[in-house]
A and B are shown apart, each in its own frame.
Chain A
Amino acid sequence: MKKIKRALLLLTVFSMLAAVISGCGADTKDAADADGKITVSVGLWPDKDTEPKSYERMENLRTSFMEENPDINIVPDTWKFDIQTFMPKAEAGTLPTIYRAFFTEASKIMEFGYAADITDAIKENGYYGKMNDYLYSNISKNDRVYLLPYEMYSLGLLINMNLFREAGLVNENDEPIIPKTFEELRETAKTIHEKTGKAGFVFPTAENGGGWNFMPLAWSYGTTFMEQKDGNWVSTFNSESCTDALKLLRDMKWEDDSLPANTKVNNEEVIKLIGTDQAAMAFAHPGQLNSLVNSYGMDRNDIALAQMPSGPEKHVTLMGGSFYVIEPNATKEQINAALKWIEFTGFSPDIDDEGKERYRQTMETKREQDADIIGIFDITVWNEKATSQSFKRELTNEFRNIPEKNVKSYNDNKENIEYQVEEPVCAQDLYSVLDRCIQEVLTNKNADCATILETANSDFQNNFLDYEN
């Protein structure tokens, strides 16, 4: 009896162990589920509790899509891209069939093979050739396309109208008096600080946000950050132009005192400082603006977005965005089904009457829900060959909920400015190096910009670029 008991005990322990071990390695992904449907899981699904309105909208879309396409099963997945959970998920093969990631991660995702090749599929459905040309280098590798740009952004100058009004920087029509150059930006910030006591300008310094915002500033002073010489990457920002760009920040901090006292600021905190009337200006793109309303309760009349000021050498801004990725293990059927779904949600170069109607409904609900800011035009994925472009613009104007005068400068000036994408190699590493430079300049009154950049330049070469060559 005892023996049997003991044997049973051992057996239980071992079977539990076996279950644990086999559970770890189980591959639960199937292209088709039991009733022969093609399963497509979609990431970035809104959370039922925290975003009930968007959740409802997506659920409705999902139901009508599955009615129209009975052979496709859409499975919601609330996972949203985040670098820390991404890699483990990619390795475990548990990524949703469609996920969305940022332009900054594009090269890594393609290099590590975490994206399916969609070249044939988008040639078939006619997307190929209708995208803006400058995008191709960012979404393809060896002439194969892996990523599908979803939305593009370009940085502009975010303005808090409350502080502008308080400082008398609005005209008789309540339009902000926008700084056109970085010198004017400095003067404006100084005026605001003198008249309101609040920070005139806020520049991020932490979590790579500082380096990211520093790009358009330094570019417009004429800086090139890296060059390829004889096939080797060489760091080149120990230049006079870069020093001048950094000096602007130093002078704004120590001569004008127009930057906030706290110098550990990440991108989110920048928005918070603007949203709580603690700072008047910052660099931002339209996608960052919704939280001004949603998280900080700002009135849309008090938000303005202007074009990026120009520098002594160039008038340039940073372009980025996000793109759809289809996970690398997807079958051909899954890829096609995924593209169908993406098109159904309103993303396609051409639009038929049905699509127009759906888009109108989406805009109506958006307007009703009053969560997003409607009325800002950013740069677009599609070129002039796409018919959906003009329609969407019309509709956006119809449903706008931010006064046009507040965003006119950003909306109307798409031609007179250059768009530059992030640096080709080690962009995030460059940002981390530049973050440190900006921190040094903003915390050390006697900092010498040229020396700091000399060190940073050789650090960047030695710690990062040398390993790319």
Chain B
Amino acid sequence: MYRYDEFDAAFVRDRVAQFSAQVQRRLAGALTEDEFKPLRLQNGVYLQLHAYMLRIAIPYGTLSARQLRQLALIGERFDRSYGHFTTRQNLQFNWIQLKDVPEILSLLADVEMHAIQTSGNCIRNVTADQFAGVAADEIEDPRPVAELIRQWSTAHPEFSFLPRKFKIAVTGAAEDRAAVAVHDIGLRIVRHPETGETGYAVLVGGGLGRTPMVGKWVREFLPKPHLLAYLEALMRVYNAEGRRDNKYKARVKILVHEIGIEAFRARVEAEFARLDPSRIQADAEEVARIARYFAAPAYADLPDNPPAFRRARAANPEFDRWAAQNGFPHKVPGYQAVTLSLKGIGEAPGDISSAGMRLVADLADRYSFGEIRVTHAQNLVLPDVRQDELFDLWQALAAGGLATANAGLITDIIACPGLDYCALATARSIPIAQALARRFASPERQQEIGPLAIKISGCINACGHHHVGHIGILGLEKRGEESYQITLGGDAGNASAIGEILGPGLGAEDVPDAIERLVAVYLAHRQPGELFVESVRRLGIEPFKTAFNAEIHHDAA
């Protein structure tokens, strides 16, 4: 993975010193809260319901064992011995004291981490496919370009005060696991249909929040050396024309929607034509330097699906289930990527204790070249595990409570922190996720239902990605109570779609039964091999709506 050079290290240390001084001035009363707030937000410090929250950047979701151990230490020393992984592949600590932030940032800098670009109206931490570099369906590893964009965008003087925050996601695989179509910019590494050269397909104007939109193609093939110039042109058009009069209409998706994708594209292309890509793109030498950090580790020459692996699976049904459900095809024979679910039944999605972090770090060192990935679905991944060592890994994970075999299933629920922590939330999210996980806890039942993504947000800002859940749940306030709006048919993948609202909001206690009714429609009508979301597409929303509303009307009668 990427290692800081002397400039990166000095930059991060300078920022720690700068913010430490700002904290001291705030505590001494030299800065008012109005003056201090934008400064703390630029360093990932939020004020939540019970305490300050610190959001730490995990660029494109890649972590080293050493970094994860440091996060465990920070959790123990300054928080409540746990952290929360977010849908943006970051980590949040919920119980931070302002006076401790300088020391925490210094500890982060020790392991080449920081909290820059985790807040504010800048280009945020770039996200990527969690299986980058190892996925069997990958055209090219997206991490080098994600890192290039990170370096280009960090403290970019022109793009540090945009109309609103700006999120970029990258994937290099055939299947989109990074939800690129619901980002301000989504980049897909693609092959040119004629030359075979790799470049980027560029989507713009996707996003969730109160105005959910699927991104539109602004460039179907962008040659690699043009990337930063093209991004600069696009950002410049947005920076100049994006609305600043209304924060709810300030994202680039609104601009694209208001002027239309053709007009937007024309403006970007006109701006791009004025630029000289060779002066903006990083030197080929620097691009190559970055890429070298992502070179494949020293894989052993192994047979695929070796006898020991097959025997362990045959002898242990629980291991077999985990290997099948949480395993992911690796591009190298004899290896597998595996998802470590942070969705144990009844747990808070994305939460992990400091002890759990240490266990994962140790297992990453032992079994996966010391590397860990964070997924936007709030799980962890060990990307490079030998199949013949998978059983040993599974046993160690099971002992630490990290071997739940539910990746991609109905209990692998995304949930934002919601009103248990978040000052913006209008309702709780985590208790809904817990109730649903308990309702569908049976492993056999989960297998029978198959892949189904439930995503829960505790407010309209949609950190829990509810719009793109196969089933989405949005927590709102209705007449002084928490109320949950259910949507159906959203999709964060290649067939990106925004879910449709099924009916009136429900009380928390009614949500599990309502989801049961939706699942029942699917089980009754699915064709052989058809996934939940495919059935929704084929059947349309109506049969689900009918089942959903039947019971509600009955209750009301």
**A and B are interacting partners:** no
